[in-house]
Structure 1
Amino acid sequence: MHSIDTYINAATRENTRRSYRSAIEHFEVEWGGFLPATADSIARYLADYAANLAVNTLRQRLAAISQWHIEQGFPDPTKSPMVKKVIKGIQSVHPPQITQAKPLALGHLEQIDEWLDGQIVNALSRGDQPALLRARRDRAIVLLGFWRGFRSDELSRLEVQHIVLTPGQGMTLFLPHTKTLHQGTTFKAPALNRLCPLQAYEAWRDAAKLTNGPVFQGINRWGQLSGRTINPTSYIPLLRGLFEAAGVADAALYSSHSLRRGFATWASTSGWDLKTLMDYVGWKDMRSAMRYIEGADPFAHHRINAELATHAAHNKTLEVLL
């Protein structure tokens, strides 16, 4: 029985299990609901929080309640017509405002890397090992996260023993599972003449004396590594603090997704076709890919003006010919 439980637990990511536990606790403790639940109680629960919680949050709560009933062998009340109508009505009355993290531009990546280089030089001159470790770690996070298009979830699951370096060419990174896939996936990142993720990773690994385990770990004030991976949610304050210290304007508008969106935007404006970009990042759904791409001309200002100029020139040519 123990082996069965092990495989069942492995089928669900820890982050998902944690969020489901939190959702069940919210329903039972904070709202005062009872499990197993009725369709009527779930509908009232949704209505009570409709104005305060995002529709996606409510859907996540429904998924957790649904999963609880299925696992316990009870009928699933979240699939009732009443609950479906309530959630549809909430979405109509309280339409979600789609917000996206600001993509990190290549110029800002260069600015951050230059600032981190200065931090490394200063730490070496002072013999400040904790500051040196943080600067080398943060540089590896930013460069690898950008050029590989990694989410914070993927950065948090990188392990040293699953990374192979090929000097002068690139690095191979194996993840036992990703956000959407449970089978192992291999990613590749290039060695570059500048802003190189391979060199940044290697410098961090050697400075921290890492031989196995999580790549990106917490560091205390004495320069000791935590031995535990940085939690995915901790990347947002880490990166915002880093960007602000490096002088990037509006640092609060960035998140861990800014690295992924920044790379996707850079690749798109550099001429990568959508299929090549999707294959590189690992997107299976075209709509998912398009949400990350921020064009260099978001208002179509340059494109439309250029087409108008071409049209005017064409008409002038016709007038001359006539």
Structure 2
Amino acid sequence: MNYMMPIAPAPAQPHEPSEPARRYAQASKSAATIRAYGAALRSFEAWCKARALVAVPADVATVADFLSAEADAGRKVSSIAQKAAAIRWAHKTAGLPSPTEAEAVQNVMRGIRRSVGVAPKQKAPATAECILTILAHVPTTTLVGKRDRALLLLGFAGAFRRSEVAGLLVEDMALGDNGVDITIRKSKTDQEGRGQAVAIPHGVHLKPVEALNAWLDGAGIKSGPVFRAVTSRGQVGEEAITGHTVANVVKRYAGRAGLSVADFSGHSLRAGFVTSAADRGADLNRIMDVSRHVDPRTVRTYIRRSDRYKNHAGAGFL
């Protein structure tokens, strides 16, 4: 008897993702993360090219050697970990197995963390007292001064990240009798854009809402980005400032106030609010209402730092 052998189906041809699929996949990471990964990958590719090695797909030994070289060059652990994450992302995006998941590479990263150390250098918090000192050096009559005063006070009062300050829109603010309600459309802990609300009271001492209104009125801003570039001729731009501008404003006035510029960053405003609130015995949950920290342990580190001399174990005999 003759039996007909079944005809094997032709192997499926690889299907390239469509442009919309690639666009949405790209949107899974923030723009800042994409930029950071791009820079990390360029560094890896240049290192590989200099040694006639292939960057993607890379083999395990190549990645292990690259990360080790980064550590030997004195790079921070956080920077090395970011480059490892970028390599992983590049391989996964291309549909390739990532060499970073190999035990050999994992061991290298563990060794780097143990050898180099992972304790970050803490930037100085711009506390309420520090803000008052800095504000004494911010002009009150120029447009740049009005903008920078509002930026510093709003960033502090809302415990905002520098990217959140830079991304504020007039449409996201609602002025009321008690202050201004600000909706943060997207943030580090809210990448999907559900929105987080922050209440900024008028205040008695620092008066952040008053400073905000002075800037908006002086600049004639009715909609769009709150904080914008101002030219030397006093012309207000249309585009929002960047997070780097926020950090530069903090550093500039810290320097003018005679403080160590290297100790301050854009994060100093956020850290300053949490530290000031902890200093004054504010409830943890109320602090988190403003700071929007997801993990209370992060906030407790500020509280412990604030309380380290209160009821000290050696107070009675030192």
TM-score (norm 1): 0.84
1:135: Cα distance to partner? 0.6
User: What residue in structure 1 maps to residue 68 of structure 2?
Assistant: 47
Q: Partners in 1 of 2:224 and 2:302 — Cα distance?
A: 30
Cα distance between partner residues in 2 of 1:197 and 1:294: 27
Residue 104 of structure 2 corresponds to residue 82 of structure 1? yes
How many residues are paired up?
Answer: 293
Match of residue 317 from structure 1: none
Q: What does residue 169 of structure 1 align with?
A: 178
SS in 2 for 1:171: strand
Q: What's the counterpart of residue 131 of structure 2?
A: 109
Find the counterpart in structure 2 of residue 12 from structure 1: 29
Residues 258-298 of structure 1: CA distance to partner in whole angstroms, max 9, x if unpaired?
Answer: 11111111111111122221232101112322344474454
Match of residue 263 from structure 1: 273
Please tell me whether the aligned partners of residues 91 and 98 of structure 2 are also in contact (alpha carbons under 8 angstroms): yes
Mapped partners of 2:302, 2:23: distance in 1: 35
Contact 1:268 1:295 in 2 (8 A): no
- CA distance in structure 2 between the partners assigned to 1:27 and 1:17 by the alignment: 15
Distance 1:202 1:10, change over 3 A: farther
Residues 5-54 of structure 1: CA deviation (Å, up to 9, x unaligned): 44333332110111111111111124425211111110011111112211
Contact 1:39 1:83 in 2 (8 A): yes
User: Partners in 1 of 2:70 and 2:28 — Cα distance?
Assistant: 30
> CA separation of 1:294/1:220 partners in 2, compared to 1, >3 Å: closer, same or farther?
farther
User: How many angstroms apart in 2 are the aligned matches of 1:305 and 1:89?
Assistant: 37
Does 2:227 match 1:216?
A: yes
Q: Does 1:66 align with 2:88?
A: yes
Q: Where in structure 2 are the equivalents of 1:81-230 lying within 5 Å?
A: 81-116=103-138, 119-120=139-140, 123=141, 132-166=142-176, 168-181=177-190, 182=192, 183-230=194-241
Q: State the distance in 2 between where 1:46 and 1:145 align.
A: 36
Give, in angstroms, the shift of residue 153 of structure 1: 1.3
How far does the alpha carbon of each residue in 1:155-179 deviate from its partner, in whole angstroms, 9 at most, with x for none?
Answer: 111111111111x301111122111
Using the alignment, how far apart are the partners of 2:218 and 2:212 within structure 1? Answer: 10
TM-superposed deviation, 1:138? 0.6
Query: What is the DSSP-based 3-state SS (H/G/I as helix, E as strand, rest coil) of the residue aligned with 2:313?
Result: helix
CA distance, structure 1, for counterparts of residue 88 and residue 59 of structure 2: 11
- Measured in 1, the distance between the counterparts of 2:146 and 2:132 equals 15
Structure 1 spans left out of the alignment, 5+ residues: 124-131, 310-322
C-alpha contact 1:261 1:293 (8 A) present in aligned 2: no
How far apart are the structure 1 equivalents of 2:47 and 2:218? 47
| Cα distance in 2 for residues equivalent to 1:46 and 1:21 | 17
Cα 1:21–1:292 shift into 2, 3 Å: farther
Q: Is the 8 A contact 2:278 2:302 kept in 1?
A: no
Distance in 2, matches of 1:210 and 1:30, equals 47
In structure 2, distance between residues paired with 1:5 and 1:80: 27
Which structure has more helix as a fraction of its residues?
1
